[in-house]
Amino acid sequence: MAVRAKAASQELAAVRTGAKNRWLLAAASALETQSAEVLAANAEDVAAAPGYGLNAATIDRLELTPARIAAAADGLRQVAALPDPVGEVREGGVRPNGLQVLKVGVPLGVVFFIYESRPNVTADAAALCVKSGNAVILRGGKEAIHTNTALHRLIAAELAAAGLPADAVQLVPTTDREAVGHLLKLGDWIDLAIPRGGESLIRRVAREATMPVLKHYDGNCHVYVDAAADLGMAERIVVNAKCQRPGVCNAAESLLVHAAVADTFLPRVGAALRGRGVEIRGCDETRRLIPGTTPATDADFRAEFLDLILSVKVVADLDAAVRHIAAYGSKHTDAIVTADLAAARRFVQLVDSAAVMVNASTRFNDGFELGLGAEIGISTDKFHARGPCGLRELTTYKYVVTGDGQIRE
Amino acid sequence: MAVRAKAASQELAAVRTGAKNRWLLAAASALETQSAEVLAANAEDVAAAPGYGLNAATIDRLELTPARIAAAADGLRQVAALPDPVGEVREGGVRPNGLQVLKVGVPLGVVFFIYESRPNVTADAAALCVKSGNAVILRGGKEAIHTNTALHRLIAAELAAAGLPADAVQLVPTTDREAVGHLLKLGDWIDLAIPRGGESLIRRVAREATMPVLKHYDGNCHVYVDAAADLGMAERIVVNAKCQRPGVCNAAESLLVHAAVADTFLPRVGAALRGRGVEIRGCDETRRLIPGTTPATDADFRAEFLDLILSVKVVADLDAAVRHIAAYGSKHTDAIVTADLAAARRFVQLVDSAAVMVNASTRFNDGFELGLGAEIGISTDKFHARGPCGLRELTTYKYVVTGDGQIRE
């Protein structure tokens, strides 16, 4: 598979944008016109799900509906509408000796994409990889194997007609753990591994991979409410960051409140959060101000709950908040709420996270929201891309240097 | 050392450009005014060099002179004059909901720089790492330990006075192999390893490192002379790429000649190369056209000679040249000489190297020549930076998102 993917990637690098877009639009139509086939396959997976120990929430993520298939098709059309990062001239100029130097976007090559449960990711990941000129090897979870096989068959069937290599999108046909280990050894053929799922999957991929890995382990995201915060704004941001979609990596897991506003802010935000069904686990000061709060352990301050639970701590000042975030955070997304410009500048400079938000919800750290058009994942590493990764982050560049006979003296 | 470097890097990230430049200029002056100390230490290394098995060429690389120290000081002043990549706003805009999204340059953190022989690299690497806001741990070769210790003492002594943390530049005080292995395990404290030296050193670092590695293994660079080449230009480029400095990674190691011009070009370039003392190892056709040519083995076509030796092959057409480069090259630097625009476009698109040159010498793949101002190394990998890496390639970015209370609906 990896050898065929590498060969396909060499063809894909030279394919025109029009061909890639034709494939995306044809695949979108195929998803809609042949949705019955996908829904039937999905029903098999849903029926088998309790046997894999899936609960109601994870079965809901697994289940496809006509509306969800339409959304997936729409996602493909959106990727078709995005600019092609391949061939994009990122920088350029002419040197004093007349050499023209261009930095031109080129694909990475082959992407190995490993993901759990949610089958809508199948079409999404294939679209982003191919639009950015990469061949992709998809490896979904065993719980979704029938759905993924049907989805892959539909979208791969449209490749040849659009003029793309048939091996541009492959699906690992087996669901055994060993297959992933074998593919992770193939650093000479696969240029990038992207794991999406639980932390144990991601740690395993990072440990075994012989190629670069685009990843984040978890998102223990903080909202720090400064002494100079507009407390109404702070309450809206905390409630949104925690409750709007608690199961995702950019949801807030921890609230830090400056001691000077704790007395007024904590009872108020405590009531708002309780009204939304949030369990609060707090420090002693928090427990005094929000009666009935569970005592927070050190593990609570480290936790990515992915649930309606929030750890809360009162801090002496901004620097104490920054130190807490450095010690407990995931370098993913952290926010300050403040009207004080100096405080905002200091927080932005000192917090070493992929995204730092000022007076905005942590939920905005997302490829669509930040204007990348789409995202294949979020990176908390510092090498290559950081934060949400879209089409451009799935490419690298080459220097193209053109002259008329220049030599070095 | 790594823990101290991490602490220093956190301070360095917030230091102003002026302080970094003050240090660079003070270190340059110290190198010049205290050069006697460095020269005495260097004399010790040079005296011990034959005991390490160094030959005349490598002893020449090791030896410092007042002129070479002045050049190192000048290098520090040039880095001071370069723009600071930290805080640079690389992209930015306002989303429809009013959120301002900026991508802002930030340092990587701690760089572990491992190098052989040439002691002028000590000041250079320290300058580039610190100017880009990173703390650096330097590890030079055992042959240069006295020189590196003296250089490090001089430049580190100027850190505090300029307002920089004393641990911003550290030198590994021992020269045993095990020390490198220990440091390569510290991926939690060290953000990047950069090996500069022979291929075995680089392979060892890549194998053992638990952090990203910025590297190239070798530079088997090609010049392809197309059917439509200006043969006078082709001769000048081939001679320059091979002979101007044969011991460096962007020197040409292999010449590919289109069959249509082999009869006229090979005798002519053969004479020019022989006149410069170059040994030619060629295919049968080359041997027919340049009598006295050594037969080339497969190993010759793979070799990075780093010497006045050139492998030569006659190819049927441009696509055969591209296939040869894909099979034997290093993805470092490859050049085409042609007057045919379609041939130039095809070569640029199909050759998967960090730098592709059209009608210019391979020797231009260099940070200074391509306008980066300086370089810490050249990468042939596709993740993070590719080609010559200067100040900006020693940084990453963070998203800074500023609003006035935006929440996600």
CB within 8 Å: B364 and A401: yes
Note the pLDDT of residue A93.
95
Q: Token pair of B250, please?
A: 């962007």
CB within 8 Å: B401 and A364: yes
Q: Which residue, among B276, B368, B399, would best test binding to A if mutated, counting the most A CBs under 10 Å from its CB?
A: B399
- pLDDT band per the 50, 70, 90 thresholds, residue B56: confident
Which chain B residue lies closest to A235 (C-alpha atoms)?
B405
**Position of tokens 């995201």?**
A221
CB within 8 Å: B192 and A383: yes
Q: In chain B, which residues have their Cβ closer than 8 Å to the Cβ of A354?
A: 398-399
Task: State the average pLDDT for chain B.
Answer: 96
Facing residue for B371 by CB, picked from A95, A239, A364: A95
CB within 8 Å: A360 and B99: yes
Give the whole-angstrom CA distance, residue B231 versus residue B210.
Answer: 49
Element (H, E) at B261: helix B259-275
CB within 8 Å: B99 and A236: no
Q: Are A194 and A112 in contact (CB under 8 A)?
A: yes
Shortest distance between the Cα of B175 and any Cα of chain A, in A, equals 29
Give the whole-angstrom CA distance, residue A293 versus residue B249.
Answer: 64
Report which of A158, A69, A171 is spatially closest to residue A112, judged by C-alpha positions: A171
Q: Are A350 and A233 in contact (CB under 8 A)?
A: no
Shortest distance between the Cα of B181 and any Cα of chain A, in A, equals 18
Q: In chain A, which residues have their Cβ closer than 8 Å to the Cβ of B244?
A: 407-408
Domain boundaries, chain A: 2-214+376-402, 221-364
pLDDT above 90 covers a percentage of chain B that reads: 94
Reported ipTM: 0.94
Shortest distance between the Cα of A49 and any Cα of chain B, in A, equals 31
Q: What is the DSSP string of A339-383?
A: S-HHHHHHHHHH--SSEEEEEE-GGG-STTTTTSS--SEEE-SSS
Shortest distance between the Cα of B182 and any Cα of chain A, in A, equals 18
Give the whole-angstrom CA distance, residue A365 versus residue A372.
Answer: 11
Note the pLDDT of residue A27.
98
Note the pLDDT of residue B116.
86
In CATH, what number does B221-364 get? 3.40.309.10
Note the pLDDT of residue B177.
87
Give the whole-angstrom CA distance, residue B167 versus residue B8.
Answer: 6
In CATH, what number does A2-214+376-402 get? 3.40.605.10
Q: What is the DSSP string of B102-131?
A: EEEEEE--EEEEEE-S-THHHHHHHHHHHH
Q: If you compute the radius of gyration of chain B from its CA atoms, what whole number of angstroms results?
A: 24
Region of B305 please: left (phi>0), alpha (psi -120 to 50) or beta.
alpha
Q: Are B109 and B191 in contact (CB under 8 A)?
A: yes
Q: How, if at all, do strands A377-379 and A192-196 pair?
A: unpaired
Q: Which residue, among A89, A407, A409, would best test binding to B if mutated, counting the most B CBs under 10 Å from its CB?
A: A407
Report which of A318, A372, A379 is spatially closest to residue A349, judged by C-alpha positions: A318
Facing residue for A407 by CB, picked from B212, B361, B408: B361
CB within 8 Å: B353 and A398: yes
CB within 8 Å: B384 and A383: yes
Give the whole-angstrom CA distance, residue A299 versus residue A283.
Answer: 12
Average pLDDT over residues B296-321: 97
Q: Token pair of B92, please?
A: 């930015």
Facing residue for A408 by CB, picked from B95, B240, B344: B240
Q: Token pair of B81, please?
A: 């004059």
Q: In chain B, which residues have their Cβ closer than 8 Å to the Cβ of A239?
A: 407
Which chain A residue lies closest to B233 (C-alpha atoms)?
A405
CB within 8 Å: B396 and A408: no
CB within 8 Å: A14 and B350: yes
Count residue pairs from A and B with Cβ separation < 8 A: 189
In CATH, what number does B2-214+393-402 get? 3.40.605.10
Shortest distance between the Cα of B389 and any Cα of chain A, in A, equals 12
Residue A368: CB atoms within 10 Å: 14
Q: In chain B, which residues have their Cβ closer than 8 Å to the Cβ of A9?
A: none
pLDDT in tens, chain A (409 residues): 999 999 999 999 999 999 999 999 999 999 999 999 999 999 999 999 999 988 888 898 899 999 999 999 999 999 999 999 999 999 999 999 999 999 999 999 999 999 986 888 999 999 999 999 999 999 999 999 999 999 999 999 999 999 999 999 999 998 888 999 999 999 999 999 999 988 999 999 999 999 999 999 999 999 999 999 999 999 999 999 999 999 999 999 999 999 999 999 999 999 999 999 999 999 999 999 999 999 999 999 999 999 999 999 999 999 999 999 999 999 999 999 999 999 999 999 999 999 999 999 999 999 999 999 999 999 999 999 999 999 999 999 999 999 999 999 8
CB within 8 Å: A405 and B237: yes
Give the whole-angstrom CA distance, residue A117 versus residue A143.
Answer: 6
- Check for a shared fold between A2-214+376-402 and A221-364: no
Which chain B residue lies closest to A357 (C-alpha atoms)?
B401
Q: What is the number of helices (H) and of strands (E) in chain A?
A: 15, 16
CB within 8 Å: A240 and B191: no
Which chain A residue lies closest to B347 (C-alpha atoms)?
A400
Q: In chain B, which residues have their Cβ closer than 8 Å to the Cβ of A363?
A: 407-408
Q: Are B13 and B107 in contact (CB under 8 A)?
A: yes
Q: Which residue, among A207, A336, A398, A400, would best test binding to B if mutated, counting the most B CBs under 10 Å from its CB?
A: A398
Q: What is the DSSP string of A101-165?
A: EEEEEEE--EEEEEE-S-THHHHHHHHHHHHTT-EEEEE--GGGHHHHHHHHHHHHHTTGGGT--
Residue B320: CB atoms within 10 Å: 16
What are the phi and psi torsion angles at B161 (to 5°)?
-60, -30
Facing residue for B371 by CB, picked from A93, A239, A383: A93
Q: Token pair of B183, please?
A: 């440091």
Give the whole-angstrom CA distance, residue A179 versus residue A173.
Answer: 9
Q: What is the pLDDT of residues B344-365, one digit of tens each?
A: 999 999 999 999 999 999 999 9
Q: Are B357 and B338 in contact (CB under 8 A)?
A: no
Facing residue for B382 by CB, picked from A239, A244, A396: A396
Note the pLDDT of residue A153.
97
Facing residue for B408 by CB, picked from A13, A101, A361: A361
Facing residue for B363 by CB, picked from A245, A359, A408: A408
Note the pLDDT of residue B58.
86
Which chain B residue lies closest to A350 (C-alpha atoms)?
B14
Q: What is the pLDDT of residues B82-132, one digit of tens each?
A: 999 999 999 999 999 999 999 999 999 999 999 986 888 999 999 999 999
Average pLDDT over residues B189-216: 95
Shortest distance between the Cα of A134 and any Cα of chain B, in A, equals 13
Element (H, E) at B74: helix B66-81
